[in-house]
Structure 1
């Protein structure tokens, strides 16, 4: 009996695949990679002005294999100088993440196409003020008219007037 158990254990170890990694969920697979911020909008236009910390120039999103965390790499400008940030978001709900940046930030990416995302950001700063920002992200440095219309509709649905939409890619002078 002992030999049978030993042989079973050895066979189990031989055929087990210790290098097998968990598969990324479909959402993470689709959003990982290079992204650029094309447009941003907010009911409070000042929070997305060029030197505001909430005006971000995205570069990369990378999901952790377990799907519970993701890394967001982006720039902001301070006095016209690009500042690089690497922020890790922790999943708090399906497709919702949270991180600390200028207070607490909850954010969600809403996939529209393989090359186009909408982002919804809720920032609660140290003073307790809450700001909502929406953005249009793309794999290239421009979006189609159809994608712009989807972003415009998304902004208006979230109570943001059309005149508060800013084409931030036009002020993106930060490194790739």
Structure 2
């Protein structure tokens, strides 16, 4: 089932720019090197916005990262490569691609090679503010296993996103 969704997405992503753009929050992250995504880890992103430029050949990504007890807003630009992956420099060489996208959820899968040449497989799940349903979480577990990431390495990031939690409670 997951492979079918990936195939369908591959055909549809060229027309999905509108689904990628907008305000997003990170709900879950998975990595084979789990230390990279623990609280305070360099790849624990708190997503805020994706913007496509030039028919999504460039993607601007705005997020917060909290390293050494310093929370900082970061904006990077990723460039689409010939193979459809996006590449940027953040904490080393970072290559990723959207593997699933709707108006409410995006799944990004990628690899990061840090300055010490340590490779980390990563999966980011972005939403419009709602946590994953149990069914979505099951699908995420199956997908991370396909990518050789242990399911116990999935981290719930939405619960630790203080700014997002404040916004959600204020609007309730």
TM range (shorter): 0.7 to 0.9
Q: Is the 8 A contact 2:96 2:111 kept in 1?
A: yes
Larger Rg: 1
1:85 corresponds, among 74, 98, 105, to 74
Rounded to whole Å, the distance in 2 between the matches of 1:60 and 1:145 is 25
Deviation of 1:140 (Å): 1.7
Aligned partners of 1:127, 1:161: CA distance in 2, in Å? Answer: 23
Map of 1:151 onto structure 2: 140
Q: CA deviation at 1:47?
A: 0.9
Q: Which runs of 4+ in 1 moved over 6 A?
A: none
Partner Cα separation in structure 1 for residue 84 and residue 132 of structure 2: 23
Give the aligned partner of residue 62 of structure 1.
Answer: 51
**Gaps (5+ residues) in structure 2?**
1-13, 168-172
Say whether residues 1:106 and 2:106 are aligned partners: no
Identify unmatched segments of 5+ residues in structure 1: 1-24
Give the number of equivalent residue pairs: 152
- Tell me the equivalent position of 2:35: 46
C-alpha RMSD of the superposition: 1.7
> Which one has the bigger helix percentage?
2
